[in-house]
A and B are shown apart, each in its own frame.
Chain A
Amino acid sequence: MQTNFTLDQLADPNIAVADKILRSCVHCGFCTATCPTFVTVGDEDDSPRGRIYLIKDMLETGAPASTPVAFHLDRCLSCLACMTTCPSGVDYMHLIDYARVRVEETYQRPAHDRALRAVLAAVLPYPARMRAALRAASLGRSVRGMIGTRGMLGQRLRAMLDLAPGAVAGRSSTERPGVFKAQGTRRARVALLAGCAQQVIDPGIHDATIRLLTRMGVEVVVAKGAGCCGALTHHLGKHDAALAFARANVAAWTREIGAGGLDAVVTDTSGCGTVLKDYGFLLRDTPEAEDAARIAGLAVDISELLVRLEYQPSVTPPPGMVIAYHAACSLQHGQRVTEAPKALLRRAGFTVVEPRDPHLCCGSAGTYNILQPEMAGRLRERKLGTIAPLKPDAIVGGNVGCLTQLSGTAIPTIHTVVMLDWMAGGPRPETLPSDATIAATRPPAAVAQDAEATWS
């Protein structure tokens, strides 16, 4: 596509990168078809191609982001389905990332919007603050009915309260640095991204990862100085804060490489994994560029690592059990990890079914379900509507955000690694219905047929 930048503008390395990305777009429009917001609202301005055009115009004119530009860019989930679809290989992720920074720098948001974003950036990445906030939220639930539903602010407050878990767990085992020793002969040594919000919302996920990996002979390190991956602030357009997190992690894991060596940096939150794998790009112009690229190269999703380590189950699932695999966008589009989780779950003995349109986001998308509750709600309904006919005993996926977003129905949402740990000798997930209920839902004979009817 034609672009119109002056040489002066192109001297800015960020614009030079954006220009290259824009030039690779041929405006074919394929991306519109798989964009959750375009499919929902049917407006070019809410499609990847439309947003690319809005960004092009904003960058070419050099003008501050206008209200409509901020509105439509904010509505992008960064699910990256467009990148999976794009035949031209347009690097939409880096374009929208940079555009968000421009919006953050040049657009004056309404006061309540600014305040909320500041609060999210100041709370979510820090487990202790997050826990305190969740405790406050459980108190807040009693006044939920008093919050108005009309304004954006009211909707957002309600969304936050709805997303907070009913009971807040105590401090998780991964909140402090430590080393979890391999059982038997050590096969590998990995750093686990302890991260931030997930260990507060559901500490059981890290526990399962550590149990499973150590049982398989892997030493798991929670490195001192590592924290939030930076994704949350990154997607809010808060560039400096995101870089600070990334740098701290790169430094922490680089030290760990020096100390005991690392075979991988593993994450069990796919939203974080996408950003970890991008550290090389994020820190490209910093003194840590080389280290960052090395860390990005070591980053793997837990499912990729388990395939590499040849995961084997030791027990079998309850008869008749069917699970619906929900593909998190950060995994399927951001990291292009599509088969590994399903293959592992099948190897573990589960009958795995998939809903129609698995490429469409559930609306979670980091802080999106708080900042864009209406669109997120419509996408949640759509996703649940495609899962319900499958009548699964659980919805299983690799990202805590999706699991929270899709919770609240009769079907429990459980992390992939929790299911895999269970089949390898770990505890049975507490939220699962009993074996008798599972068997009663569907006779085992029907399960084989369901598996055949899976959408591809």
Chain B
Amino acid sequence: MITLPKPKPDVLARRDAVHEGLRAIMQDRGVITDATKLKPYETDGLSAYRQMPLAVVLPETTEQVAAVLRFCHQNGVRVVPRGAGTSLAGGALPLEDAVVIGMMRMNQIVEVNYRDRYAVVQAGVTNLGITKAVEADGFFYAPDPSSQLACMIGGNIGMNSGGAHCLKYGVTANNVLGIKLVTIEGEILELGGTHLDTAGYDWLGIVVGSEGQLGIATEITVRILRAPEGTRAMLAAFDGNEVAGACVDAIIASGIIPVALEFMDRPAIHACEAFAHAGYPLDAEAMLIIEVEGSVAEQDWLLGQIKEICARFNPISLKVSQSAEESAAIWKGRKGAFGAVGRISPDYLCMDGTIPTSTLPLVLRRIGEMSVQYGLQVANIFHAGDGNLHPLIMFDANDPTSMHKAEAFGADVLRLCVEVGGCLTGEHGVGVEKRDLMSVQFTEIELEAQRRVKSAFDPEWLLNTAKVFPLQAGTASAGPDALPHAA
């Protein structure tokens, strides 16, 4: 089980004063302090980890966010930013002495500019909400995490989220043009702009993926793209995970970049079919969803090439979607996959390692072996084209042994990812979940360099502390007192 840093006793002692201060700033709107009402905020998409916060604040303007941060900074109170609370890595897990700043009331589309192809949106707009706002005019926002229906763009910035279509269009970092960032001191910064690349240091590069540890994004300028003329999905079914993995490697190696290339194994296929009724091949051990886009001629040519490659791996079946409805059902199953696994297991840990695609067969075989070794079932559903794995390790949270086994299994999978030349996280972020594995990926010197970036923005380590970096040995603290070189 993950350790959280010791709460600051002086902050806990000032609980009432903190509540009062927040109410004054917020003029009595959107401040939650009642224990019953706080309870649903004690966790996020990683519900195995829970911690009641000191308070929850739901600001409606950037100025309110700034005022709350300034107050917390002045009073030495830790802050945990939260979007829709869909993090699978515990990114929004509260701390006992922290104020949660929930961004869901900031859900306005501020500006849409088709000519220069950007949209300015508040942090609490859902990922899909951006596309919904521009799709009638033939545009879309490209990164599409599976939780896109619910997850918010602010959280996408924090975790540098990916998605099925990032194989072609890049992840969040490649699609963000500007960020209005509020620092822990309550200063409002405008980073980037409305165009690609800006003068000077790449501040966006530092902020995107910083897991709410450098500041809170309140307004984001994203790139919107012209929707393709058309898309078509196909399903390729195979009789084994490894052979499907090898097929993925062959497609990527051939130089074809489908718009999406997704992998599902048998348990995933069955769980998702029960939810989406998409016509998935129930007799297969593994299935690929391959989507191409463009003009009809382009789609036909690409599908022809891909079919030829698939044929070399003895597929059980190859099926091209015949209608928009069929494609929608195929994607509904994939996008709802994590939740759908809830139909076959009460709980799961969703891993998020990334590996070179050439190592897919090896890694899938090893995961299968570990599954036997730990006696826990695994469902594999992932962005195969990117080598971004999502093994879902199924367990029973009502059984502590099962939970510990699942955590150990997950850690082994991530170690394996690093071992084959990959990394701990593709898109979910480190959060608390993978925090203690960071030293598998990085040397102490590398970690220290990153801690210094954090310290430059937030010297007292008040922002989303206890995430990303392993707690310092013996201190159970993530704060600057644990950092030998902190400013």
A contact residues vs B (CB 8 Å cutoff): 1-4, 23-34, 38, 41-45, 47, 49-51, 53-54, 57, 66, 68-69, 72, 85-90, 453, 455
A90 to B44, CA, bound (A): 17
- Tell me whether B342 and A89 are in contact (CB under 8 A): yes
B47 located at the interface, meaning its Cβ lies under 8 Å from any Cβ of chain A in the complex: yes
Cα distance A455–B135 when bound, in Å? 10
Q: A29-B45, A89-B275 are in contact. Are A54 and B149 (CB under 8 A)?
A: no
Q: Which residues of A contact B275 (CB under 8 A)?
A: 87, 89
Encoded as 1 (CB less than 8 Å from any A CB) or 0, chain B from 327 to 353 comes to: 000000000111111110011100000
B39 lies within 8 A of A53 (CB): yes
**In this complex, what residue of A is CB-closest to B83?**
A29
How many A-B Cβ pairs are below 8 Å? Answer: 119
- Across the interface, do B342 and A29 meet the contact criterion of CB distance under 8 Å? no
Residues of A within 8 A of B398 (CB): 2-4, 23
Q: Which residues of A contact B315 (CB under 8 A)?
A: none
Apart from A29-B147, A87-B336, 7 more pairs, CB < 8 Å:
A29-B84, A30-B86, A42-B107, A42-B124, A43-B104, A88-B340, A89-B343
Residues of the A chain whose Cβ atoms lie less than 8 Å from the Cβ of B22: none
B478 within 8 A of A: no
With a CB–CB cut-off of 8 A, which chain B residues contact A47?
40
B443: A residues at CB distance < 8 A: none
Taking each of A25, A41, A88, A455, which has the highest tally of chain B beta carbons within 10 Å of its own beta carbon?
A88
Give the shortest distance, in Å, between A39 (CB) and chain B (any CB): 8
Knowing A29-B147, A32-B150 touch, does A54 contact B341 (C-beta < 8 A)?
no
B126 at the interface (CB under 8 A from A): yes
Q: Does B36 contact A (CB under 8 A)?
A: yes
Are A30 and B37 touching (Cβ within 8 A)? Answer: no
Whole-angstrom distance between the Cβ of B470 and the nearest chain A Cβ = 25
Q: Which residue of A lies closest to B42 (CB)?
A: A53
A-B contact pairs, 7 of them (CB 8 A): A26-B339, A26-B348, A42-B104, A42-B107, A45-B32, A54-B40, A88-B339
Find A24's partner among B39, B342, B348 (CB 8 Å cutoff).
B342
B45–A87 touching, CB < 8 Å:
no
Interchain CB contact under 8 A, A2 and B347: yes
- Do residues B84 and A32 form an inter-chain contact, with CB atoms below 8 A? yes
> Smallest CB-CB separation from A67: which chain B residue?
B36
Contact with A along B215-235 (1 / 0, CB 8 A): 000000000000000000000
Q: In chain B, residues 80-105, which have Cβ atoms closer than 8 Å to a Cβ of chain A?
A: 84-86, 102, 104-105
Q: CB within 8 A of B37: which of A33, A45, A85, A87? A: A45
A29 to B152, CA, bound (A): 11
- Contact in complex: B34, A24 (CB < 8 Å): no
A-contacting residues of B (Cβ < 8 Å)?
A: 30, 32, 34, 36-37, 39-41, 43-45, 47-48, 58, 84-86, 102, 104-105, 107, 124, 126, 128, 136, 147, 149-151, 274-275, 336-343, 346-348, 397-398
Taking a contact as CB atoms under 8 Å apart, the answer to whether B336 and A27 are in contact is no
Q: Is the CB of B338 within 8 A of A26?
A: yes
Q: Closest residue of chain A to B48, judged by CB?
A: A2
Do A27 and B36 touch across chains, with their CB atoms under 8 A apart? no
Contact A53 B40 (CB under 8 A): yes
Partner of A87, one of B85, B128, B337, B348: B337
A72 to B34, CA, bound (A): 13
- Residue among A44, A68, A85, A455 making CB contact with B34, cutoff 8 Å: A68
User: A29's closest neighbor in chain B, by CB?
Assistant: B86
Q: What distance in Å separates the Cβ of B146 from its nearest Cβ neighbour in chain A?
A: 9
Q: Are B47 and A85 in contact (CB under 8 A)?
A: no
Q: What is the CB-to-nearest-CB distance from A72 to chain B, in angstroms, rounded to a whole number?
A: 8
Contacts A1-B347, A44-B40, A53-B40: A86 and B339 contacting too (C-beta < 8 A)?
yes
How long is the Cα–Cα vector from A45 to B346 in the complex, in angstroms?
Answer: 23
Contact B343 A50 (CB under 8 A): no
Which residues does chain B contribute within 8 Å of A89, judged by CB atoms?
274-275, 342-343
A28-B36 contact given A33-B84, A42-B58, A42-B124, CB 8 Å threshold: no
Most chain-A Cβ atoms within 10 A of its Cβ — which of B105, B150, B274?
Answer: B150
* Given known contacts A2-B47, A24-B343, A30 and B336 CB-to-CB distance under 8 angstroms: yes
- Nearest-neighbour CB distance to chain A for B334, whole angstroms, equals 10
Say which residue of B43, B124, B128 sits within 8 Å of A27 (CB atoms): B43
Question: A42 touching B105 by the CB < 8 A rule?
Answer: yes
Q: How far is the CA of A44 from the CA of B136 in the complex (A)?
A: 30
